[in-house]
C-alpha cells in the first residue's frame, strides 16, 4: 500500500515538469520542420510527375506513334470512302475521317486528367 502510494507520488512528480522558457521557440522550430517537410514532399511529387510525363512523351515518340496515327487516318479515310460508295454519307463518318485530330484531342484530355489527378493527390497527402 505504502509502496503504491509512493509510486503514485513519483508519477505525479515526474508529471510536474516546469515549463521551459523556450517552449514557444521550440514549437516554432518543430512547425518549421513540418512546413519544410511538406514543401519538400510537394516538390518531390511535382518532380515525379514531370519525370513521368517526360518518360511517357519520349516513349510515344520512340514508338513512332505519329506514323501510326497517319496510317490510322489513311485507313479511316479509305474506309470512309468505301462506305460512302455503299451508303449515303453521314456526319459521323466525316469525324472519323480526321483520325489524327481525334487522337490529339484524346491526348489533350488525358493530359488534363493527369493534371487533375496529380492536384488531388497532392491535396490528399
Instruction: Tell me how far apart the alpha carbons of residues 93 and 76 are, in angstroms, rounded to a whole number.
Output: 9
Query: What minimum distance in Å lies between the beta carbon of 38 and other proteins?
Result: 7
Our CB check for other proteins shows the closer of 6 and 104 to be 6
Instruction: Tell me how far apart the alpha carbons of residues 49 and 44 are, in angstroms, rounded to a whole number.
Output: 9
Q: Does 4 bind other proteins (CB under 8 A)?
A: no
Instruction: Tell me how far apart the alpha carbons of residues 111 and 43 are, in angstroms, rounded to a whole number.
Output: 19
Q: Does 1 bind other proteins (CB under 8 A)?
A: no
Task: Return the residue of 35, 43, 58, 68 that touches other proteins, per CB under 8 A.
Answer: 35
Q: Does 15 bind other proteins (CB under 8 A)?
A: yes
Instruction: Tell me how far apart the alpha carbons of residues 74 and 116 are, in angstroms, rounded to a whole number.
Output: 33
Q: Does 6 bind other proteins (CB under 8 A)?
A: yes
Q: What is the DSSP letter of 21?
A: T
The three cell numbers of residue 19 are 515549463
Q: Does 86 bind other proteins (CB under 8 A)?
A: no
Q: Does 44 bind other proteins (CB under 8 A)?
A: no
- Interaction site with other proteins (CB under 8 A): 3, 6-7, 9-20, 23-24, 26-31, 33-35, 37-38
Amino acid at each position: 500500500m505504502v509502496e503504491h502510494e509512493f509510486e503514485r507520488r513519483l508519477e505525479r512528480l515526474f508529471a510536474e515538469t516546469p515549463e521551459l522558457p523556450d517552449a514557444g521557440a521550440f514549437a516554432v522550430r518543430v512547425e518549421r520542420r513540418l512546413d519544410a517537410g511538406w514543401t519538400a514532399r510537394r516538390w518531390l511529387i511535382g518532380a515525379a510527375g514531370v519525370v513521368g510525363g517526360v518518360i511517357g512523351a519520349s516513349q510515344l515518340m520512340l514508338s513512332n506513334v505519329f506514323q501510326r496515327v497517319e496510317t490510322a487516318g489513311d485507313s479511316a479515310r479509305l474506309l470512309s470512302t468505301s462506305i460512302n460508295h455503299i451508303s449515303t454519307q453521314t456526319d459521323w463518318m466525316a469525324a472519323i475521317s480526321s483520325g489524327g485530330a481525334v487522337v490529339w484531342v484524346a491526348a489533350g484530355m488525358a493530359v488534363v486528367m493527369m493534371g487533375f489527378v496529380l492536384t488531388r493527390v497532392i491535396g490528399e497527402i
